[in-house]
Structure 1
Amino acid sequence: MADEGLEEWLRERMPPRGLRPKSAAVVDVLVSQPRQASFGSTSDLARLAGVNVATVTRTAQALGFAGWPALQQELRARYLSSLSAPQVAEEHHSAGSPASASLRRDLDSLALVNRRFDEDEIRAVAEAVAAARRTTVIADGSYAAVGIAFAHNARLAGYDVHAVTAGDAELANATAKLTADDVLVAISFWRLYESTVRAANEAHDRGARVFAISDAASPALAGAAERVLMVPAEGSPSFRR
């Protein structure tokens, strides 16, 4: 079944001149069969689209990714974000202990981060935080701990960084104080909260520098952010991110 949000995201990434018929067939599979595309291999996707593996790779590159693994990682994050918590748990159901499944998933994610690591991207965010009068980190839900750890470690290093995780009222008050001398870091994994998008856009309108850390570059959030740092955050069902 097609997902309208997923289809819109893919269409927005297409090159101005469009895609060749075989690559268009690959995109059609991504839209119509997101579950199979999110968890299947390159050869599985090629078979569903009626093309060869090389065409799958070229399609991913035409959409702005280094290759199929990078596209699949973001596709899966978007697919899982459209599901309920029980549905996500069912998608991750596997044999073996929850502990070993979680460790395997974390090792896979770390390997992906290592392959995609861009020192210039990290340095740009660090330099912005270091130069800012004040940095506000917003994070909600199950990943609020990421924002708290970010702010805590930055304060230990001597920077004025504070995390906002306590709801809309505190977030609105913190955002209202931002100026062009400040930085806002929006952290969003799995579920994208509307309040996070509103805060990022408000900070941008006030002249603050905005950065996002996410596992899926949502257009709603990326539009306000100067840079989006992509970090895989998919966990096993027993240790949901």
Structure 2
Amino acid sequence: MKAQGGRVEAMSGAAARLHKLFEGHRLTPTQRRIAQCMVRRADDAPFLSSVELAELAGVSQPSVTRFAVALGFDGYPALRRHLRETPGAGAPGGGGEHTANAYQQAVREEIDNLRLLAAQLADPAPVVEAARVLAGSRPLPVLGLRAASAQARGFAYFAAKVHPDVRLLDEGGTMLADRIDAAGRAGATALMCFALPRHPREVQGAVEQARAAGLRIVTVADSAFAPVAHPEDILLPAAVGTGLVFDTACAPMLLGRVLLEAMCDELPDAQARLEEFDARAAERGLFLP
């Protein structure tokens, strides 16, 4: 997770303190799920019981205890005591959000996710580095399966307007490995990956294949603790909302657009390509007036 330390420094408040606490620990997928839940509920985390945290994260209570031990504490009570004693820990609750209905709460959660993303982007270095890596890859494969396929497709659609060779990989199956191999043989040096819950096993296999072939992986994921995370990759976290039956992914979508903006700065002919497209679109009457 390159430059993760810089991102954490750019963040503020309870979420940043939790990121620093978790950083450097090798966590199991279940433990990463607990860590993600605590980051999402950063203000309330010091006041949650192990049972409450287990229910919120969708894991067992013993898993919460093992998570605390993995962080170096004697148990969950010691972890909670540490969080409460950390400077800056406040009181539980979020300023009257208990009065909101479920739909309003889901929107507020997404707003919080966007605020967290804005704080991370105070240090633009990781995004700039990722854009440089992606802009230099010919071709540029863009991977996103299942829930992440919409993010990958949107990114690839706009990237193709400024990048000469974008290859969308939004379907799994036996052909996926063939298409990654083909991109590598054609000269690809990087792969753009969108990884969102629930994380398909095929995504992990695909990025491992690309990494083994020498491609640099840039991943937009729901958390710095996503299962596909790897120390050699550039990981750009953007939280998803979990307040509705189906996850919402406003922050990952926006982060993808930010990354495209940075790519345009790295592609010297980006503006010329955009103007050429606009001219052709006007000639063909492609869009309604």
TM bucket by the smaller chain? 0.5 to 0.7
Q: Which runs of 5+ in 1 are unaligned?
A: 1-9, 16-29, 58-66, 69-93
1:223 is paired with a residue of what secondary structure? Answer: coil
- Asked which structure has the greater CA Rg, the reply is 2
- Name 1:161's counterpart in structure 2: 166
Q: Does the alignment pair 1:51 with 2:81?
A: yes
TM-score by length of structure 1 reads: 0.62
Q: Does the alignment pair 1:116 with 2:120?
A: yes
Q: Does the alignment pair 1:214 with 2:244?
A: no
- Give, in whole Å, the separation in 1 of the partners of 2:232 and 2:168: 18
Contact (CA 8 Å) 2:144, 2:170: kept in 1 or not? yes
Alignment of 1:63-212 (within 5 A): 96=101, 98=103, 100-117=104-121, 118-179=123-184, 181-212=188-219
- Give, in whole Å, the separation in 2 of the partners of 1:194 and 1:147: 17
- Name 1:87's counterpart in structure 2: none
Contact (CA 8 Å) 2:142, 2:192: kept in 1 or not? yes
Q: Does the alignment pair 1:226 with 2:233?
A: yes
1:199 is paired with a residue of what secondary structure? Answer: helix
- Once the two structures are TM-superposed, the CA of residue 178 in structure 1 deviates from its matched residue by 3.3
- Give, in whole Å, the separation in 2 of the partners of 1:107 and 1:204: 34
Change (3 A) 1:221 1:199: same
Larger RCO, structure (CA 8 Å, separation 6 or more): 2
Change (3 A) 1:56 1:188: farther
2:178 is paired with a residue of what secondary structure? Answer: helix
Q: Does the alignment pair 1:13 with 2:17?
A: no
Residue identity (%): 19
Contact (CA 8 Å) 1:201, 1:224: kept in 2 or not? no
- Once the two structures are TM-superposed, the CA of residue 124 in structure 1 deviates from its matched residue by 1.1
- Once the two structures are TM-superposed, the CA of residue 191 in structure 1 deviates from its matched residue by 1.6
Contact (CA 8 Å) 2:139, 2:188: kept in 1 or not? yes
Aligned AA (1:234)? G
Aligned residues: 182
- Once the two structures are TM-superposed, the CA of residue 45 in structure 1 deviates from its matched residue by 5.0
Q: C-alpha root-mean-square deviation of aligned residues, in Å?
A: 3.6
Q: Which runs of 5+ in 2 are unaligned?
A: 1-20, 50-75, 90-98, 249-289
- Give, in whole Å, the separation in 2 of the partners of 1:159 and 1:128: 15
